[in-house]
Amino acid sequence: MPVQPLPLEAPMDPVAAFERITYLLDRSLAPSTKVRAFQKAATVIAELPADELRRRSADGTLKNLPGIGPSTSMVVSQALAGGMPDYLRKVEPGQPLTAGTDAGQVLRDALRGECHCHTTWSDGGASIADMATTAMALGHAYIVITDHSPRLTIAHGLNRERLVAQLDEIDELNESLDPFRIYSGMEVDILDEGELDLDEDLLDRLDVVVASVHRKLSMDRTPMTQRMVRAVSHPAVTILGHCTGRKLSSDGVQPASDADLLRAPSNFDAELVFTACAQAGTAVEINCRPERQDPPDDLLQLALDLGCNVAIDTDAHAPGQLEWQVYGCDKAARHHVAAERILNTWDAPGKR
C-alpha cells in the first residue's frame, strides 16, 4: 500500500492515485462512504484496458461507468494528463505521521510491531497481505492479525472454519514475506460472565489474544468488574483491549464534556481489573484510534502504578490507520512509560 506520496509530476497510474487517496482518507478517519467510493472506482478502473481508459477520459464517458462520478472521473483524467490530481493534492500531507513530541517519537522508533488490527476477514477494509506490507513499509518487523470472534456478528466475526482458513493464509504469507512475521491472533469478545468467545483449542493456537468488551457496555459496576477480571485472568489472554469502551466522537475530536461523548465509558472497579492484569501478565491496551483514546489518562496512570505493561495498538481497520501508533506513543510518553513496559517493543508480542 502507498505509505509514501506519489510523484508530483509525469503521468500517474489512476489506480495508484485512488489507492493513495483511499489510504489517506482512512488515515484521517474520513466517512466510510467516501472511502468506499474511491475503493470502488479503483476496482472499476483497474478492470479497464488502458486504451479504453484513455478513450473514455478523452471523450468524457468515464462517468458512464458504474461507480465513477465527477470527483473520481476527474482523478482519472488528471492522472492520465500528468501530475498529481487536484483531489489527491488536497489530501496529501507529504509524509507519514510523526509523534508530536521527541519523547513520543523515541517510543515510536522503539516499536517493533502492531498487535491489534482487522482485515476483510471481519470488519476491516484491506487484506492481510495489504496490512502486512503496509506495516513493513512503516518499519515494523511484525503485525498481529486480530479479527473479531464468532458471536460479534455485526463485525462479521470468524467462526471455527473461517479462523482455521485464516491461519492457513497467514502461514502461506509468512513463507513469502520472511523475515517479516505475521502473528496469528483474534480480538475475542468478553461475554457476559467473563467467558471468552472462542473455544479453548483455538485459543491455544493463537499467538496473541486481545480480550475486549463489545456488548452490554452499560452493565452494572460489580458484574462488569467480575466479568473483566475473569477474562483478563485467563492464561490465553495477552492484552485487555479498549478497556472502557468509550467513544469520544465520530471524527476523533474530544468533546467539551463527558456528557457529549458519543458513547460513555463502562463503569468498573479499575483497581481490581488492573491488579488482575498485572498478576496475570496481561497488558493494558493504549488504543490509538482518535475516536477512542482509551484508556483515559487517569486510568492509564492507575494501570501503570499497579504494575501493568501496555500495548500501543492502532486497532486499525485499514492500512492508513496503522500510522496512528504515534498518538499512543505521545500518550505513553506523557505518562513516562519506559519502552521495556510496552509489549510491542519486544521481539515477539506474546507474554514473557
Per-residue pLDDT reduced to its tens digit, 104-119? 999 999 999 999 999 9
Rounded CA-CA distance 206/351 in Å is: 12
Closest CA to 284 of 243, 337, 244, 246: 243
Percent of the chain topping pLDDT 90: 88
Beta bridge partners of 283: 239
- The predicted structure's pLDDT at residue 290: 95
pLDDT of the residue at 350: 67
Position 94 pLDDT exceeds 90: no
Question: Does the bond joining 93 to the residue before it have cis omega, within 30 degrees of 0?
Answer: no
pLDDT, tens digit, for every residue of 116-141?
A: 999 999 999 999 999 999 999 999 99
Q: What is the DSSP letter of 295?
A: S
Q: For the structural domain made of 102-345, what CATH number should be given? A: 3.20.20.140
Mean pLDDT of 251-277: 87
Model confidence band, residue 352 (pLDDT cutoffs 50, 70, 90): very low
Summarize pLDDT for 39-83 with one digit per residue, the tens. Answer: 999 999 999 999 999 999 999 999 999 999 999 999 999 999 988
End-to-end CA distance of the chain: 32
Reduced to 3 states (helix: H, G, I; strand: E, B; else coil), residue 314 is coil
- Per-residue pLDDT for 169 more than 70? yes
Give the CA angle between residues 159, 118, 101 to the nearest 5°. Answer: 155
Give the count of beta carbons closer than 10 Å to the beta carbon of residue 238. Answer: 27
Indicate where the chain has its CATH 3.20.20.140 domain(s): 102-345
Q: What pTM was estimated for this model as a whole?
A: 0.94
Angle at the Cα of 14 from the Cα atoms of 9 and 15, rounded to 5 degrees: 130
- In the chain, which residues fall in CATH 1.10.150? 14-91
Looking at domain 14-91, its CATH class is mainly alpha
Per-residue pLDDT tens over the stretch 303-336: 999 999 999 999 999 999 999 999 999 999 999 9
- Residues 201-225 pLDDT 10s: 999 999 999 999 999 999 999 999 9
